[in-house]
Amino acid sequence: MKSIAQIAARLQGYDPQSLTTERVSAFLNELVAPVTETEQVALFDALGRVLAEDIVSPVSVPPHDNSAMDGFAFNGAQLQPDLPLRLQVVGTAFAGKAWQGTVGIGKCVKIMTGAVMPAGLDTVVPLEFARVQGDAVSIPANVLKCGDNRRHLGEDLMAGHTALAQGERLGPAALGLLASLGLGQVQVYRRIRVAYFSTGDEILSAGEAPREGAVYDSNRYTVIGMLKQLGCEVVDLGVVRDEPALLEKALLQATARADAVITSGGVSAGEADHTRTLMQKLGDMAFWRVAMRPGRPMAVGHISAPAAGAQSSDGVIAPTSSALLFGLPGNPVAVMVTFIAFVRPALLRMMGASPKPQIMLRAVSESPIQKKPGRTEYQRCIVTPRADGQPTVRITGNQGSGVLSSMVQANGLLVLEHEQGPVAAGDEVNVLMLDDL
């Protein structure tokens, strides 16, 4: 495991009080190691899991040349420009029940979609194009080319070729592809376990009576929601008051039980913020001010705790477990934005997934947007599709980092890059669509 100091020493221009989002991402790439343990799971249980091995096709898909249409199969060399073709039907080929005979010149076979192409035949005329009279079929001039409507053996996947690479996060299409190879089980990385707790004396749990100066905990629901969407196992440690002994206990418990620990609150420099001090005491931590909005303060590092169930006795050093720790800012939108920008990619890396660039939509801004160069801004926005071309985008009103209602209205996050200044109406901007996450 690389220490914060080692990574910082290698990262040019590392300044914890002013880090660009790119530097943060580069730092996290070095800090976070993928899990190595794997397990075999049934294909139906593999959705969202990450492949731990290359999948080499044991078979070709399709396994034989076959018809793409219901129609009549024949030897396409007989087609001539500007001339119709008349053929005699000599049999029927069904999907799953091949036609075994030979089909000569002037002959054809009625064929169903998916049926194996009889030997020597390479072209199918769809039923809609064929004129059938008794056992004769005539094909009008110039409606077909030789080879039309034939699907080739292995045109999807060829036996012996890599069908999917290690690191692929399995979506429905990938599961279907694995199933098309006849595989019922697949080797994936184990799930990662992530513990979460909210911190702060003013934070109430749902169901508690309201009291002066207190607010209900929303971060626990947004963060745990996003963790579940990622397919992590979640250890929910609730709300922890800003008391050193309670915070220490929660951090140690979380570390002993999880691969990664996420907290919210207590990472800026407030007086009652014991969280920072404790994180520092228990681990190798960095406290950053990221040049971004929202989400400026953030803590990251590794902390250690005696492993779950480990007994320390005289002369015996208890084994320790260690976890990646993200101390996210308390403000509800800052939590979500830092999770999306940094925690999510880091956890995907820990899950073993190959890195994928976040694809941004280009949209035209409906109105001017204020923006200072020198920080990356994530503004909640609504993208509207336009029938006549590029989608347009507008921001969702109040962008305060405590305002969750504008996050709910938003369908995207408008990402204004570090160097960018104000946006004029009609300018193109980048949007991260929230549904894609």
Ligand X SMILES: Nc1nc2c(c(=O)[nH]1)N[C@H]1C(S)=C(S)[C@@H](COP(=O)(O)OP(=O)(O)OC[C@H]3O[C@@H](n4cnc5c(N)ncnc54)[C@H](O)[C@@H]3O)O[C@H]1N2
Q: Contact positions toward ligand MOO, by CB under 6 A?
A: 293-297, 329, 331, 334, 401
For the bound state, the minimum distance from the C-beta of residue 311 to ligand MOO, rounded and expressed in Å, comes to 42
As measured in angstroms, the least distance from the Cβ of 345 to ligand MOO is 18
Report, in Å, the least distance between residue 406 CB and ligand MOO. Answer: 13
291 sits in which H/E element: none
Binding mask 194-213 for ligand X (x = CB under 6 A): ----x-x-xx----------
Picked from ligand MOO, ligand X, none, the partner binding residue 377 (CB below 5 to 8 A depending on kind) is: none
Kindly state the smallest distance separating residue 386's Cβ from ligand MOO, in Å: 32
Backbone angles phi, psi at 346, to 5 degrees: -65, -40
223 vs 256, beta carbon nearer ligand MOO: 223
E strands in 201-334: 203-204, 215-216, 233-240, 260-264, 283-289, 292-293, 297-306, 320-328
Residue that has been written with the tokens 């971004």 in this structure: 292
Helix (H, G, I), strand (E, B) or coil at 95: coil
- Report d(CA 262, CA 303) in Å as an integer: 12
63 φ/ψ sector (left φ>0, alpha ψ -120 to 50, else beta): alpha
Where in 371-410 is the site for ligand X (CB under 6 A)? 401-402
Residue 215 binding ligand X, by CB under 6 A: yes
Question: Measured from the CB atom, is 46 or 262 closer to ligand X?
Answer: 262
Q: What are phi and psi of 137, to 5 degrees?
A: -125, 130
Residues 325-344 that bind ligand X (CB under 6 A): 329-332, 334
Strands, sheet with 320-328, edge to edge from the N-terminal-most edge strand: 233-240, 193-199, 260-264, 320-328, 297-306, 283-289
DSSP state, residue 24:
H
Instruction: Tell me the window of 141-149, 177-185, 262-270, 379-387 that interacts with ligand X (CB under 6 A).
Output: 262-270
β-pair partners for 386: 389
263 touches, from ligand MOO, ligand X, none (C-beta below 5 to 8 Å by class): none
Decide whether 169 or 375 has the Cβ nearer to ligand X. Answer: 375
Residues that bind ligand X (CB under 6 A): 198, 200, 202-203, 215, 217-220, 264-270, 273, 296-297, 329-332, 334, 401-402
